[in-house]
Amino acid sequence: MQKTKILFNIINTIFIVLYVYPGSILGFLIYGDFQKQPQITQDFLSMSSNHVYAFFVLSLIGLIAYYKSNKKLIITYLILSSIILEILHIVIPNRSFQYEDLFGNIGGVLMSIFLFSIFNFWRKR
């Protein structure tokens, strides 16, 4: 489990840097343009698909790493970070707060919690 915790902390740090950087680092690496954001798939109804995928993966790794030792803390951290990181876009230059991104963040976290809970329930039976 220690390796999973290290992996989560590394991915979480990279994720925060990408999220608060005033421009799109991934856009620059892929398109050579800090203003252009890569789009993996079309957005879902009122949620950003990129944000759903990103927070789903981050949350799933976090739950695997910390669920047994700090269940309440990791769930609280994941939900709060999904909200706070999007709210920070209000003050970060060249970034903008969007409800679709916020809903995608929260949706990704909730989907991972739901999937993880179902897996744990099924595994205990």
What is the residue-wise DSSP string for 43-112? Answer: PBTTB-HHHHHHHHHHHHHHHHHHHHHHHHHHHHHHHHHHHHHHHGGGTSTT----HHHHHHHHHHHHHH
What domain range includes position 13? 2-124
Check residue 1 and give its pLDDT.
62
pLDDT tens, the chain, 125 aa long: 689 999 999 999 999 998 898 877 877 778 787 777 777 788 778 888 989 999 999 999 999 999 888 989 999 999 999 999 999 999 999 888 999 999 999 999 999 999 999 998 888 76
Total number of domains in the chain: 1
Reported pTM: 0.87
Check residue 58 and give its pLDDT.
96
Burial class (CB in 10 A: 0-12, 13-18, 19+), 88: middle
C-alpha distance across the termini of the chain, in Å: 23
Of 19, 3, 8, the residue nearest 73 (C-alpha): 8
Check residue 44 and give its pLDDT.
76
Contact criterion met (CB below 8 Å) for 116 and 60: yes
The single-letter code of the amino acid at 120 is N
- Phi, then psi, of 121 in degrees rounded to 5: -65, -45
